[in-house]
Amino acid sequence: MLERGNTKQRDQLFDIIRSERSMTDTAMNRDPDAHILKACTTEEVNAYHVEATGASVTADSSVNLIHRYCEKLPGDKYFVPKPKFHISLIEGSYECKMTLPPNAAFQSIVGPSSRNSHLAKQLVCLEACKKLHQMGALDDHLLPSIKELPEKNLIVKSKESASGAGTTKRKELHGTTCIRALSGTWGEKVDGAIFQAYKFEFLCNIPGELYSGFVLLLETKLDDDVGNIELELYLVSKKVKSSVSFCGQVHLDAEQMTKAKCFQEFFFNGLFGRLFFGSKSAGTCREFLLKNETRSLWSPSNMYLLLPLETLNTSSPEPCQINWIGINSCISAVEIMKKRSLLGAEHCNGEKGNLSPYKNGSCSTNVIHFAYSMADTNNLKDMVVLAIHTGKIYSVVEVVNNTSAESPFDGNTDSASSKYMTFSEYFNKKYGITLMYPGQPLLRLKQSHNPHNLLVNFDEEGTTGKTLEAGVLVKKAQMHVHMPPELLIRLDVSRGVLRSFYLLPSVMHRLESLMLASQLREEICCSSNFHISSALILEALTTLRCSENFSMERLELLGDSVLKYAVGCHLFLKYPKKHEGQLTDIRVRVICNATLHKLGTDLKLQGYIRDSAFDPRRWVAPGQRSIRPVPCKCGVDTPEVPLDAKFHTEDPKVMIGSSCDKGHRWMSSKTIADCVEALIGAYYVGGGIIAALHLMKWLGIDAELDPSLVVEAITTASLRSYVPKDNEIATLESKLGYEFSVKGLLQEAITHASQQELGVGYCYQRLEYLGDSVLDLLITWHLYQCYTDIDPGLLLSQLTEYVKSISESHTDGSLQRPKGPKALGDMVESIAGAILLDTKLNLNEVWRIYKPLLSPIVTPDKLELHPFRKLNELCASRGYFIKEKFIKKGDMVHAELSLQLKDVLLIGEGYEGGKKIARGEAACRLLKELEKRGIVFSRSASKKRKLDADHIDSSTASYMEIDVCDQLTDENLSELAINKKRKSTKDQLPPESTSLSSPTNDCSNKDRSPDSGTPVVIATINTKKGGPRTTLFELCKKVQWPMPTFNSTENKSRSPIEFGEGSEIRNGFNSFVSRISLHIPKFGSMECTGDARADKKSALDSAALVMLYELERQGKLVIGGS
């Protein structure tokens, strides 16, 4: 039965009748032997083939392919992209028109005519598949390729992207860029040379503490922001303000250059190195370093002079007068040492005979006999002297009355088996010296010491540089020596010169770093329209490992936002037909770490990065011989390391940061990508978006913001045909406080994708994509400017949490924040994008409008961290481990977090629609349970722990990172250091009650421990430095035992102590012993003491090793191979 006048039912009936007759006719007339006698030659006429891959799609399968393509387009729960079909009957044939969503590669297509409506629909889908493949929306396998790059030259791409590039896991060997400003050829000139002079002045905050000025002589003139700086140096309990300023040119003749070089060789080697090499115990001849030609101590790549200045003389016309009197005095001392070395050549390991020509000199009590001179006893304080038998430089503290060379030797106080009874006997037996004036009083001398890193204020950062004794911080006592005056040569330089020498390594390190930054700025070729300071570039090149009071972290965060905005805006304007998903994927490919790493290494940026703390003991001045050489074993002969896979590794044992003498050092691959972002941030800070775009162009990132494309986008929006209700636009504009010049932009910004089903050809998704990057940049810039002193990790948390509150409050894991519709957050972003276009990319105007709308903007003190991050930080500070377990139950996720306290295992559970939210809920339960037990998260305590950890060196950090990093997520990577420093064995938890509360739905307390009684099997212990600690910490994490605590004590001795066995034997004057305490739930506490070791870390390893063997003895552990 058919409905009268219903043509659709009539056509369907006729189709069925025709299909039935066709099937009957085919069955009646088919050849019964066709399947045996003939090969299969059936060819699908209605099909599309891709020759390159052999992929094909038929008319029948094309419908599903079109639906799959639409599913890949951006949508939400209010709008599901899908095709629409309209079938028309024209002269007995059916014709189908298909309309795709507006964000598809094209919008509509009409298929060929067909005898039935179903086939017409298939044919139009087949034609659409052909067109989509030709346009690149389907790949050569005929799969949706929404994520394919549209342009080959969009970015500079490598031939093959190396696996792991730009990740923290991959480590790469790189060289260090040579500083061109320090190079010079003046050393070969025989007629003198002209130098650029830079004056160093030092002013101590303690009156009376005088420091001599110095002058730096270079062949190259430095940039103004490098050669004119002020620097704060931090000494023990005092500060020294240093200033560097250009003071013109200085000419030195050949003789002056020779003397200046000799002075520099003498003082730097005498203070920070050795003037004598070789020893009797080593079986080598003892020689004076400056005895022969010293050309090998100078290199053309590191050629400068550091000379002392005379005391300020206001009447002198010269801006800096070199202290030639002091220099000549040192030259005379060198000549004396050379002659003595020649005279004693036959006595390789000793110097027999009398030293002083004043054999029959006066014995007046007011005169002190030095080697080759005399002095009044009242003029000795702060005199600088050279020990003629050791080549060490001292300053005189005082004359020690009632003493002489016949007094008991100092060594007797600490060593009962000392071979020397008196000073005279000591110098005679050890150096073969017979004192001529044994009755003279001894001089108490202040020893020279290693240079220190004075760029870090340890008093504010923690307790570095002090010792912990009985829980009280005490300063290390100064070490003095007693010596007969006749073994000393007077140097006519003031104590202020000696003081200043200890400042020079730190000042030069900062100057060298600024020179390197200036050199990179020159490579980038800045425009005259903006100036980026060397200090800002240096900040972008400095990692946290350098332990400076600045690092790239903040600039990296800002640069990431700038890069996201610039590239996103460029793509938005360049590709007006591409939808949000395509634009987002292209942007991700451009700004991903692998791409940034490739761009950075192509421009040799890795050589400029500073990735290790300044070690002044390895810093050497020109003319100085290093006493701590690190021979190159990298397998590279050149300073620059080739970008070859053999110099890449993922071996966790490879140490990052330390460099060999050729400047080769291992670096995290991600560090290079981070540096690229930090440089972009630095240029944005220094010169705005124009400067940042200039740097991106140098890097090879196409992010130009063409004004003509902006005008084109505005023009397109002005032609929108859809007009909302009369007062909608005006009302919204009044709420925004901004009137659009092009109303179509605001229309697009408030048009949801679901309106496309009603025929509207646009929606807010593209503007949302643009507005997201705009708000990200504006908020990041606001936080960067307002909070200059907060930790970069906290700054990132602020940004993340605040952006979530704008656009992702419907999905975040914060259990307290009210949930809102996603479309509302999207609209906030899309309107920001619309205002940006309407103002022709005026970021300041967008911020003026949006700042009051976004207020109150989160501040550091009001920042609410994610519950799981809170829990992680709290447990890290207490030395506890968290175990996670997730079970998928339909649409819900069950998260279970277990936390072992002293004798109670707490379990928190959460049930939510997503893993992250469920984990956050479980963390909330655990935090509440911990709060009941008096264990509360404290941000101030977290900050303090962070500060304490900042100055732990990389070797100390390495053993802690292994056990902590696995349990941390991206949310708290910035807090990795909290658990690095644990000095006290004092219990950090309140006593636990043995009575346990009943389990609840929120958090269960279980009177059980992960320790089941079955011994844990571990591999053989790595006995290298850090190995035993790593093994113990991994064991604790595995079985959820609280972290062990260490207590170390230091013992000092005046006589050398021997440590180790065989090839590992070491001698030292200090020994460390560590005591370890480990609490095992439901078993009790164990304490062990390690053996004495020469350094603290080795002592910690010894204690950890003893604990591991004790655990094995107690049946808690099985060690492989034992």
856 preceded by cis ω (within 30°)? Answer: yes
Exposed, middle or buried: residue 1051 (CB in 10 Å: 0-12, 13-18, 19+)?
exposed
Q: Which backbone phi and psi does 299 adopt, to 5 degrees?
A: -130, 135
Angle 393-399-402 (CA atoms, 0-180°, nearest 5)?
Answer: 135
Task: Return the CA Rg of the chain.
Answer: 39
Q: For residue 264, count other CB atoms closer than 10 A to its CB.
A: 22
Asked if 963 is an active-site residue, the reply is: no
Q: For residue 598, count other CB atoms closer than 10 A to its CB.
A: 23
Q: For residue 650, count other CB atoms closer than 10 A to its CB.
A: 12
Angle 709-712-717 (CA atoms, 0-180°, nearest 5)?
Answer: 130
Give the span between the Cα atoms of 1027 and 1029, in whole angstroms. 5
Strands lying side by side in the sheet with 1045-1059? 1045-1059, 1066-1080, 1084-1089
Taking the C-alpha atoms of 405, 407, 413 and 419 in order, what is their torsion angle to the nearest 10 degrees? 60
Taking the C-alpha atoms of 801, 806, 810 and 814 in order, what is their torsion angle to the nearest 10 degrees? 20
Q: Which two tokens stand for residue 494?
A: 């003031």
Return the H-helix or E-strand segment holding 211: none
Give the span between the Cα atoms of 138 and 778, in whole angstroms. 37
Paired residues of 911 in beta bridges:
894
Q: Detail the DSSP E strand segments found in 25-65.
A: 47-49, 56-58
Q: Detail the DSSP E strand segments found in 100-167.
A: 108-110
Measured in whole angstroms, how far is the alpha carbon of residue 507 from the centre of its chain?
A: 24
Taking the C-alpha atoms of 186, 190, 192 and 195 in order, what is their torsion angle to the nearest 10 degrees? 0
Look at the block and give the residue holding tokens 């600490």: 414
DSSP SS3 for 186: helix
Return the H-helix or E-strand segment holding 443: strand 442-447
DSSP SS3 for 1093: strand
Transcribe 802-827 into DSSP letters: HHHHHH-TTT-S-SSSPP--HHHHHH
Asked if 772 is an active-site residue, the reply is: yes
Return the H-helix or E-strand segment holding 597: helix 593-602
Give the span between the Cα atoms of 1103 and 499, in whole angstroms. 40
Give the span between the Cα atoms of 611 and 622, in whole angstroms. 23
Exposed, middle or buried: residue 30 (CB in 10 Å: 0-12, 13-18, 19+)?
exposed
Which position among 172, 539, 556, 772 bears the catalytic label?
A: 772
DSSP SS3 for 769: helix
Look at the block and give the residue holding tokens 């969503």: 101
Which position among 512, 553, 829, 921 bears the catalytic label?
A: 829
Angle 929-931-933 (CA atoms, 0-180°, nearest 5)?
Answer: 80
> For the chain, how many residues are written?
1122
| CB contact at 8 A, 474 and 527 | no
H, E, C per residue of 611-645: CCCCCCCCCCCCCCCCCCCCCCCCCCCCCCCCCCH
- What b-and-e string marks burial along 189-215, b requiring 16 or more CB atoms within 10 Å of the CB? eeeebebbbbbbbbebeeeeebbbbbb
Q: Which two tokens stand for residue 584?
A: 């987002």
Transcribe 54-68 into DSSP letters: --EEEHHHHHHHHHH
Which has the closest alpha carbon to 103: 752, 643, 746?
Answer: 752
Which residues are tagged catalytic? Answer: 772, 829
